[in-house]
A = this chain, B = another copy of it.
Amino acid sequence: MPSGSTRPSTSGLLLDLVRTAGTLSRVELAEATGLTAGTITNVMRDLIQGGLVHEVGRSPSARGTPRRLIQINPEAGFAVGAQLDRCTSTIVLVDFAGRTLATARLPGAGQNSPQHTLDTLAEHIDGLLSGAAVARDRVLGVGLVTHGPQDRARGTLLTTQPAPSWREYPLTRALSATLALPVLLENDATAAAIGEQWAGDVPTATFGVIYMASGIGGGVVVDGEVYRGRASNTIEIGHVSMDSEGAPCACGNRGCLEAIAGPSAIVAQALQDRALIARVPLSGEEDQTLADFERLARASLSGDTAAHGLIARSAHQLGLAAVTLVNLFDLDTIVLAGSAFSSAGPQYREQVARALSEYALSRELSPAKALLSANVETSAAVGGALWVLRSSATGAPGRLALPLLLTP
């Protein structure tokens, strides 16, 4: 197992199977896990007594007595996912069954300090909980989802993005102190992969996500399990060099995908084109990058040739990066997620599909597919909330044994 992964307890594993399936019988759980009927019965008794699952009737059985079906108690607890980047934040509240109850969007970190940003985020989380009439002590925790590289164990960023004050700032400790809730740090692209897997729209258990919001990241799921490497600082596809002699990137490397084809790069290129910005007014402010990019994407959709050309070049580079992902990780499918794909998604998806069919080495064994997420704006936040649920296995809501399960 990847060392950065957190192995669920038996009860956590069974909860997650039931959560994913909707309803399952004890026999099906035994078949799916290889655990003995006795183990399943014991764990289920505890989970029923703890109010985490309940029985919801019987399924017909080929022989013998009908099997009693088990379902998650959606009211057993709640989780928050909060995706944060320079331009936007998205917050979701999910119930114990993983269903999204409420969503909020607010501006991202912008030029604000980490503490101010977290305070604002905390206020909005409180507002979301009030609006949904969920008491804070019924929330298991918050999955704080942002870019990498991260030190997940310490809950800090290891980069000066978006500003030097963010580096090593104790993000999870500070947000946890403000909200009096456990907070887990997760990579945004990894969270998007978890969210896509949860949404169930990806018809394979072995896929990659290219996540584009203010920056570009990636996530990989192999046979249903998130690839974590040594410490979950994985699939930094935005910092794969597309041109080893290219312009220096802030990361120290040259010609990185993000630096030449990310939203900031596209907006910067657009700002050089006076005719284009006469037709499509852009703010040019750094915290407005995604809004500016969205304006360009809509202009491209409306037939603006210059805007279309800029996005086509970016999409071509993203397609080549998708080929790199497939050639290295041997994946079935690449899913595009993240708010930069709100309007531009179809144009990117088409280019990624073309690059995969023309260049991926394994195209003859089995061509990799390109999909556009059905939830480009929320899947990362949902993935962060799901990760909290998966990390919570035993005990009463609000006092679930989170830290026990989350030690990397």
What residues of chain A have their CB less than 8 Å away from a CB belonging to chain B? 1-4, 148-149, 151, 158-159, 205-206, 218, 222-223, 225, 227-237, 239-245, 251-253, 316-317, 320, 323-325, 327-332, 358-359, 361-362, 364-366
Is the Cβ of A236 less than 8 Å from the Cβ of B2?
no
Q: When A3-B205, A222-B229, A317-B244 are in contact, do A329 and B234 touch as well, CB less than 8 Å?
A: yes
A1: chain B residues at CB < 8 Å are: 222-223, 225
Is the Cβ of A158 less than 8 Å from the Cβ of B234?
no
Cα A240 to Cα B358 in complex, Å, equals 14
Could you name 26 residue pairs across A and B whose Cβ atoms are closer than 8 Å?
A1-B225, A2-B222, A3-B206, A148-B361, A158-B365, A218-B328, A222-B230, A227-B227, A230-B330, A233-B330, A233-B365, A234-B328, A234-B329, A235-B328, A236-B361, A240-B240, A240-B327, A240-B328, A241-B242, A242-B244, A243-B243, A253-B320, A253-B323, A324-B328, A328-B328, A328-B329
Is the Cβ of A361 less than 8 Å from the Cβ of B251?
yes
Is the Cβ of B244 less than 8 Å from the Cβ of A244?
no
A325: chain B residues at CB < 8 Å are: 328
Partner of A240, one of B245, B324, B331, B365: B324
Q: When A149-B362, A223-B1, A328-B325 are in contact, do A230 and B206 touch as well, CB less than 8 Å?
A: yes
Interface centre among A239, A251, A330 (most CB of B within 10 A): A330
Q: When A2-B223, A253-B320 are in contact, do A362 and B233 touch as well, CB less than 8 Å?
A: yes
A233: chain B residues at CB < 8 Å are: 330, 361-362, 365
Q: What residue of chain B has the Cβ atom nearest to residue A368's Cβ?
A: B230
A245: chain B residues at CB < 8 Å are: 243
Contacts A222-B227, A324-B328 aside, 10 further interface pairs with beta carbons under 8 A come to A231-B330, A231-B365, A233-B330, A234-B329, A236-B328, A239-B361, A241-B323, A243-B244, A328-B328, A328-B329
A149: chain B residues at CB < 8 Å are: 361-362, 364-365
A330: chain B residues at CB < 8 Å are: 4, 228-234
Is the Cβ of B244 less than 8 Å from the Cβ of A320?
yes
Cα A328 to Cα B257 in complex, Å, equals 13
> Closest approach, in angstroms, between the C-beta of A96 and any C-beta of chain B?
28
A4: chain B residues at CB < 8 Å are: 330
Cα A328 to Cα B189 in complex, Å, equals 12
Cα A237 to Cα B327 in complex, Å, equals 8
Cα A329 to Cα B239 in complex, Å, equals 12
Partner of A331, one of B205, B225, B229, B365: B229
Cα A331 to Cα B230 in complex, Å, equals 6
Cα A149 to Cα B360 in complex, Å, equals 10
A320: chain B residues at CB < 8 Å are: 241, 244, 253
Q: What residue of chain B has the Cβ atom nearest to residue A218's Cβ?
A: B328
Which A-B residue pairs are the 5 nearest by beta carbons? A229-B330, A236-B327, A253-B359, A234-B330, A206-B230
Is the Cβ of A237 less than 8 Å from the Cβ of B332?
no
